[in-house]
């Protein structure tokens, strides 16, 4: 499996590199009792399916065609969750240029996120003022909607570790709110709603749905820890404006990825642990798991009617969405649609008609009709499984599905290391018994083991069928080696023609999960703040100075290139010092920094922005506060002296 390190990497013989497949991904699976089921699928795959062929890598590499020339701008923004780096990255597409990294749950000394008082207040602090959490794990990014497409207002992103939902403003591309969900662990999938289920005049996002992947004792207070079968998960709904948790649903099984319908009526989550196992062999013991649907209007009626419980001191109302309590479809809050073995991912088609939910340990994608789920809730469909209208075999380890504007689906195949293109209507015909229907249209190798995959605008009604991004979990030999921790790859694929074409490998820092690709005209950013947005702004250099109240000292200053309004300021040993800095420069791109040696202070102020920091001055001496961000020919001279007297 190892590559020949005596030869340059680009002299490696096979650019398609099938030999690298599965060496890591399969490790340990045999021990997990999976080898039997998978090897059966494997044989079927070895003879290429009559309906689809593997496109040779040599025929697909057409780099250059989609390049963005120097000085030209990209057509799309791609927002990508940064996994356990706790941030969100922004790329331009098709170039793959990284244009911003938005700190969210992490600290970031570039901008001072987690260091300034304002950012600490958003992230959350302990009583001593230090950050409540230092870590985060962002998995899914989804922006707010108006009329079934992105409105450029907000981006929502989860923190799996600590069960938090963050909101990023898309005009400034900065995090403005973070909410911790009560009584959950492993908050994985999230998706905003697209309109209100009842009020037709609300045709935009007002709720954000959040799925908890891990079940825990409720409340998790030390009792009942040995009763794994009684652990439960909650599905949460957060208000998109206030970011307060509106309600939660107690469920059987777990949540994973989340989808929302275009008519606002349903939210969905795939479930891989309907067994409610505590150990992984138990989580894989059943042949069937589920895709769980939530009837949003009925849940909110139940909340209003007070049919709720509360757990562990939380004030968030919880309704009962367990199977037994929802046996009558006509009053049910939830519908459990059986899906083959351990699905991962549920995605809705841009026409709003179908959900694709893939069985990770089954070589199938299950297609569920939205209309039939609504009919089940009306009592017109008997069994939840009757909402399934297709279940094509598409390859090994199917995970996430993106859609184009021509009725085709593109599913990542983790174990096959491929993207498979298949036609939804053909799959429905084949399911009905039409042997002439061509379901699988194309396959393309990716490098290697794709996780998430997504199409340009593909999660909106404006899906445009231009690009597919494959966020791959292993890059192995695709980039210069940088030690044991490899870069990851995001591969850009042209999906505008009949055959998929691999256009480029973009390296991404560990570890991209989900991304979305948004047309650039939708995003309208601001380049300059307004002084009035900051209640503590120092609006005039004359307001600068040192203001003392006992041991608490406030230092107010402004920045205008290439100087701060105070050349020096004096405090005393033991003071609690708060520095408030307003950048009075109004010119776009004229950002200043402020760093204080030996005090762990480092942050930026953008044009007309105000930020503050608070720290203890406990060692007498002279400390040169300096501008960290290149702003002027005299940038190096831009300093102020902090004098700490004994």
Burial class (CB in 10 A: 0-12, 13-18, 19+), 255: buried
Helix, strand, or coil (residue 106): coil
- The three-point CA angle 345-348-349 to 5° equals 130
Q: How many residues are present in the chain?
A: 646
Give the nearest distance from C-beta 629 to ligand CUA in angstroms. 5
417 binds Ca ion (CB under 5 A): no
- The interface mask with Ca ion, positions 561-590, x = CB under 5 A, is ------------------------------
Binding to ligand CUA, residues 609-638 (CB under 6 A)? 627, 629-632, 635, 638
Listed in sequence order, the residues at least 6 apart from 397 whose beta carbon sits closer than 8 Å to its beta carbon are 25, 360, 361, 413, 414, 415, 416
* Separation between Cα atoms, residue 565 and residue 546, nearest integer Å: 12
Between strands 141-146 and 98-103, the pairing is unpaired
Instruction: Name the token pair of 480.
Output: 């210069």
With contact defined as beta carbons under 8 Å apart, do 558 and 569 qualify? no
358 binds Ca ion (CB under 5 A): no
With contact defined as beta carbons under 8 Å apart, do 3 and 12 qualify? yes
Listed in sequence order, the residues at least 6 apart from 47 whose beta carbon sits closer than 8 Å to its beta carbon are none
Helix, strand, or coil (residue 40): helix
561 binds ligand CUA (CB under 6 A): yes
Stretch that binds Ca ion, among 250-258, 327-335, 340-348, 520-528 (CB under 5 A): 340-348
Which residue in 159, 252, 289, 404 binds Ca ion (CB under 5 A)? 289
Pick 155 or 631: Cβ nearer ligand CUA: 631
Q: Left (φ > 0), alpha (ψ -120 to 50) or beta: where does 335 sit? A: beta
Give the nearest distance from C-beta 246 to ligand CUA in angstroms. 44
Stretch that binds Ca ion, among 179-187, 289-297, 462-470, 485-493 (CB under 5 A): 289-297
Give the nearest distance from C-beta 585 to ligand CUA in angstroms. 9
- The interface mask with ligand CUA, positions 508-547, x = CB under 6 A, is ----------------------------------------
Stretch that binds Ca ion, among 131-139, 312-320, 337-345, 413-421 (CB under 5 A): 337-345
Give the nearest distance from C-beta 556 to ligand CUA in angstroms. 18
Pick 119 or 583: Cβ nearer ligand CUA: 583
Pick 281 or 533: Cβ nearer Ca ion: 281
With contact defined as beta carbons under 8 Å apart, do 399 and 414 qualify? yes
- Give how many residues touch ligand CUA by CB under 6 A: 10
β-partners of residue 556 are 545, 580
Binding to ligand CUA, residues 576-595 (CB under 6 A)? 592
Give the nearest distance from C-beta 595 to ligand CUA in angstroms. 11
Asked if omega into 315 is within 30° of 0 (cis), the reply is: no
Pick 167 or 592: Cβ nearer ligand CUA: 592
**Cα of 312 vs its chain's centroid, Å:** 28
Pick 287 or 568: Cβ nearer Ca ion: 287
* Separation between Cα atoms, residue 352 and residue 85, nearest integer Å: 33
- The interface mask with Ca ion, positions 257-276, x = CB under 5 A, is ---------------x----
Which residue in 95, 342, 544, 560 binds Ca ion (CB under 5 A)? 342
Binding at 289: pick from ligand CUA, Ca ion, none (beta carbon under 5-8 Å per type): Ca ion
With contact defined as beta carbons under 8 Å apart, do 366 and 428 qualify? no
- The interface mask with ligand CUA, positions 47-76, x = CB under 6 A, is ------------------------------
- Give how many residues touch Ca ion by CB under 5 A: 3
Instruction: Name the token pair of 172.
Output: 């400034």
Binding at 342: pick from ligand CUA, Ca ion, none (beta carbon under 5-8 Å per type): Ca ion
Query: Of 320, 367, 326, 319, which Cα lies nearest the Cα of 343?
Result: 367
122 binds ligand CUA (CB under 6 A): no
With contact defined as beta carbons under 8 Å apart, do 93 and 74 qualify? yes
Residues that bind ligand CUA (CB under 6 A): 561-562, 592, 627, 629-632, 635, 638
Residues at the interface with Ca ion (CB under 5 A): 272, 289, 342
């Amino acid at each position: 499996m190892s590559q020949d390190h005596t030869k340059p990497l680009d002299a490696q013989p096979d650019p398609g590199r099938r030999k690298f497949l599965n060496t890591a991904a399969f490790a340990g699976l045999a021990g997990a009792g999976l080898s039997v089921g998978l090897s059966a699928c494997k044989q079927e795959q070895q003879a290429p399916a009559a309906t689809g062929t593997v496109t040779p890598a040599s025929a697909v590499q057409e780099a250059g065609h989609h390049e963005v020339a120097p000085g030209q701008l990209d057509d799309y923004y791609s927002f990508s969750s940064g996994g356990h780096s706790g941030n969100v990255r922004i790329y331009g597409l098709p170039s793959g240029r990284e244009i911003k990294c938005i700190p969210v749950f992490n600290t970031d000394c570039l901008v001072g996120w987690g260091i300034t008082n304002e950012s600490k207040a958003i992230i959350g602090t302990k009583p001593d003022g230090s950050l409540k959490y230092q870590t985060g794990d962002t998995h899914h990014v989804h922006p707010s909607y108006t009329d079934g497409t992105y409105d450029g207002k907000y981006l929502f992103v989860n923190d799996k570790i600590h069960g938090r939902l963050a909101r990023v403003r898309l005009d400034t591309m900065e995090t403005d709110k973070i909410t911790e969900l009560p009584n959950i662990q492993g908050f994985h999938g999230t998706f905003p709603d697209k309109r209100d289920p009842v009020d037709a005049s609300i045709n935009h996002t007002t709720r954000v749905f959040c799925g908890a992947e891990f079940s825990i004792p409720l409340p998790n207070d030390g009792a009942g820890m040995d009763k794994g079968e009684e652990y439960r998960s909650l599905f949460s709904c957060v208000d998109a404006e206030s970011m307060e948790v509106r309600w939660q649903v107690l469920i059987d099984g777990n949540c994973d990825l989340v989808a929302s319908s275009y008519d606002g009526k349903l939210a969905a989550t795939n479930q891989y642990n309907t067994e409610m196992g505590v150990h992984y062999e138990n989580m894989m013991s059943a042949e069937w798991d589920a895709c769980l649907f939530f009837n949003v209007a009925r849940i909110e009626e139940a909340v209003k009617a007070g049919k709720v419980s509360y757990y562990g001191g939380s004030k968030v109302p919880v309704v009962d969405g367990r199977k037994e309590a929802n046996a009558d479809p006509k009053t049910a809050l939830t519908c459990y649609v059986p899906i083959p073995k351990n699905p991962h991912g549920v995605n809705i088609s841009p026409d709003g008609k179908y959900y694709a939910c893939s069985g990770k340990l089954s070589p199938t994608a299950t297609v569920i009709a939205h209309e039939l789920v609504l009919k089940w809730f009306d009592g017109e469909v008997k069994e939840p499984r009757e909402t399934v209208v297709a279940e094509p075999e598409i390859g090994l380890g199917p995970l996430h599905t993106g859609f184009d504007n021509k009725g085709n689906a593109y599913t990542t195949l983790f174990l096959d290391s491929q993207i498979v293109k298949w036609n939804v209507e053909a799959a429905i015909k084949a399911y009905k018994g039409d042997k002439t229907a061509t379901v699988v249209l194309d396959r393309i190798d990716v490098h290697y083991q794709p996780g998430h995959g997504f199409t340009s605008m593909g999660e909106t009604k404006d899906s445009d069928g231009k690009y597919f991004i494959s966020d791959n979990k292993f890059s192995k030999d695709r980039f210069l080696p940088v030690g044991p921790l490899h870069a990851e790859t995001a591969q850009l694929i042209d999906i505008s023609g009949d055959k998929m074409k691999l256009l480029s490998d973009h390296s991404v820092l560990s570890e991209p999960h989900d991304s979305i690709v948004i047309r650039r005209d939708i995003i309208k950013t601001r380049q300059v703040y307004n002084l009035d947005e900051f209640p503590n702004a120092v609006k005039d250099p004359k307001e600068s100075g040192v203001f003392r109240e006992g041991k608490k000292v406030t230092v107010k200053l402004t920045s205008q290139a290439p100087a701060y309004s105070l050349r020096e300021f004096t405090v005393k040993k033991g003071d609690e010092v708060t520095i408030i800095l307003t950048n009075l420069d109004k010119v776009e791109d004229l950002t200043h920094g402020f760093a204080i040696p030996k005090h762990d202070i480092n942050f930026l102020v953008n044009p007309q922005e105000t930020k503050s920091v608070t720290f203890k001055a406990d060692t007498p001496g002279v400390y040169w506060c300096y501008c960290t961000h290149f702003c002027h020919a005299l940038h190096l001279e831009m300093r102020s002296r902090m004098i700490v007297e004994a």
